[in-house]
Structure 1
Amino acid sequence: MTDAIKNRYEFTILFDVENGNPNGDPDAGNMPRVDAETGYGLVTDVCLKRKIRNCIEVLQEDKAGYRIYIKEGIPLQTSDKQAYTNLNIDQKEIKKLKKDDPQKDQQIRNFMCRTFFDIRAFGAVMTTFVKDNLNCGQVRGPVQLGFARSVDPIMPQEVTITRVAITTEEDAAKKNTEMGRKHIIPYALYRVDGYISANLARKVTGFSEEDVAVLWQAIINMFEYDRSAARGNMAVRELIVFKHDNELGNAPAYKLFDTIKVRRKEGVIAPRQYTDYQVEIAEDKIPDGVTCERMI
């Protein structure tokens, strides 16, 4: 494993959706998520991490050290057992082994972090190890994302569609078409802020500069290889990265995020494309010891 990062990072992602549903809420008929008090759109951190994981799989194709732990069709327990197999650990003897060798917790954690990119980045709760009373069962990752929030309030629409795929043979004898519905947002621009802790990377997972480069590539392309008619046209429009010149940083994260202003252009009432907005960075307000780079 290469050396862990030595610099703290913060970053801001701007992405948009056109005629699609970026993150449906299953408790609300799969409608786009909305802050009920303000009308601003929301996309969960879990949704965005899923897109990043999917993109990593496409870009790295199970390259050593870049496998994905949380993925469809593979139980977490199956992946957990790889650590026991690789380290020649008999699960039935784990309590005795841990007593004889207190370092086993760390060895198991290090194996999982080396093997799976998303554990190294986002952390994980590994149930097998938790049940076996190992201290490595919960790993806190250095990369964290909040909820994405739309720049302006959104106006979700329910669109009625006609489909020729009849559900049952009985219904097919009575009619040729059925009605369906889908939820869309005509247009919305979303912003999400993220963090990378060099301190956690060094102490816990070993997240490296190579990993950072892969993460930026995955963020930039997270909608490019995962298209869906339900999500409409989605694209990452900006990735703005703040890099501190040391592990603990030179300024509070909120001061850096406050230097980024995203607003509608004058005269635009109902935005329908990215060029209806302007993005400005107050570079003169960025503290010494912090650099800012627009990756897109």
Structure 2
Amino acid sequence: MSLAHRYDFVLIFDVKDGNPNGDPDAGNMPRLDAESGHGLVTDVSLKRKVRNFVGLVKEQEERAPVDGEKRFEIYVREKAILNHQNQRAYSALNLAVAPEEQAQAATENEATDAKKKKPAKDKRKGSADEVALARQWMCQNFFDVRTFGAVMSTGVNCGQVRGPVQLTFARSVEPIVALEHSITRMAVATEAEAEKQQGDNRTMGRKHTVPYGVYVAHGFVSSFLARQTGFGADDLELLWQALGQMFEHDRSAARGEMATRGLYVFQHDSELGNAPAHALFERLAITPKEAGAVARSFDAYSVGFDSRGLDIGETVQAAPGVKLTRKF
């Protein structure tokens, strides 16, 4: 069932004594806006958690698909080789395309041609019709392709997909404090380290945390792009479920206490939309209850729309033709 409405949504989550999204270029410190001190979590990190949740809840279903159809596989998953995923579309559709060995040869030819300063011939691309069929197959079988989109032209060419669901970076409501802790492991990895420490056998390390922070991300769902990828009402409901519960199944030593605190969805009567997204987002405010106080729990904040609190399950008229519902 295709979508008949435009959706904009606000995701609110918090972290306590954890690292919501470390920056590998900064020693895995929590990501920060250097000018304001507000914490950041990338859209890529949030999408990864959605992918992991969908893969978790749909794993059994995908092992025994009804009528041989798989709809909830994950394209960008851990340790996946994307060109192998692309090849599956051509194999399933019995399309003639250069196999991986020829694609590799084409890559080597490109490198040789580049040295000769001659344009390389792209032997990896199928015909326009083949690419369109492969793209459709990928959308039908992979949840994250038809949801977030993907670039699938890196080897065996399945084209590109612009996803109907887009997320922004999440930004903390207030500036955060990024702490660094020294930690000790009572063991070493090698005999050489043990000899060097004369049997003390300790390994020192560092750990980074945010004492507490509330983060807000914005998202968008386009019914027009959904129609192109086959993203339907069942996919949308699975997305809402994933955003609400994804942190519950993403526990780690660095993210022991992260939780979704609210998922607010603006549903427009029309597909084009009845109000600008930014105007709706600005009217949903997350504010400290006591200005200047040090927050260490979500109880220190209030969520309101036009100065009104929102209860679970409450639906309000956000604007002419737009209703606001709390999904989680």
TM-score by length of 1: 0.91
Superposition deviation, residue 6 in structure 1: 1.3
C-alpha contact 1:145 1:192 (8 A) present in aligned 2 = yes
Change (3 A) 1:97 1:215: closer
Correspondent of 1:118 among 113, 131, 144 = 144
Q: Secondary structure at the match of 1:223?
A: helix
Matches for 1:83-98 after TM superposition, within 5 Å: 83-92=89-98, 98=127
Correspondent of 1:107 among 133, 150, 157 = 133
Correspondent of 1:25 among 16, 23, 26 = 23
Correspondent of 2:188 among 162, 166, 178 = 166
In structure 2, how many angstroms separate the alpha carbons of the residues matched to 1:119 and 1:170?
48
Superposition deviation, residue 58 in structure 1: 0.8
Counterpart position of 1:40: 38
Superposition deviation, residue 236 in structure 1: 0.5
In structure 1, how many angstroms separate the alpha carbons of the residues matched to 2:193 and 2:320?
69
Partner amino acid, structure 1, of 2:94: N
C-alpha contact 1:268 1:276 (8 A) present in aligned 2 = no
Partner amino acid, structure 2, of 1:108: A
Counterpart position of 2:103: none
Partner amino acid, structure 2, of 1:78: H
Counterpart position of 2:177: 155
Q: Secondary structure at the match of 1:237?
A: strand
Correspondent of 2:251 among 227, 231, 239 = 227
Counterpart position of 1:79: 85
TM-score by length of 2: 0.83
Q: Secondary structure at the match of 2:150?
A: strand
Partner amino acid, structure 2, of 1:191: V
Give the fraction of aligned pairs with identical amino acids, expressed as a percent: 49
Counterpart position of 2:318: 286
Q: Secondary structure at the match of 1:103?
A: helix
Change (3 A) 1:119 1:97: closer
Aligned: 1:205 with 2:229? yes
Superposition deviation, residue 4 in structure 1: 2.2
Aligned: 1:295 with 2:327? yes
Counterpart position of 1:52: 50
The RMSD of aligned alpha carbons is 2.0
C-alpha contact 2:317 2:323 (8 A) present in aligned 1 = no
Counterpart position of 2:106: none
Partner amino acid, structure 2, of 1:158: E
C-alpha contact 2:97 2:126 (8 A) present in aligned 1 = no
Q: Which moved more, 1:56-65 or 1:16-25?
A: 56-65
User: How many aligned residue pairs are there?
Assistant: 286
In structure 2, how many angstroms separate the alpha carbons of the residues matched to 1:17 and 1:105?
43
Partner amino acid, structure 2, of 1:200: L
Q: Secondary structure at the match of 2:57?
A: helix
Superposition deviation, residue 110 in structure 1: 1.1
Counterpart position of 1:195: 220
Q: Secondary structure at the match of 1:80?
A: helix
1:274-293 deviation digits (Å, cap 9, x = unpaired)? 11110001278821111110
Counterpart position of 2:13: 15
1:147-182 deviation digits (Å, cap 9, x = unpaired)? 000000000100111210213212223223232210
In structure 2, how many angstroms separate the alpha carbons of the residues matched to 1:246 and 1:110?
26
Change (3 A) 1:264 1:96: closer
Correspondent of 1:258 among 275, 282, 301 = 282
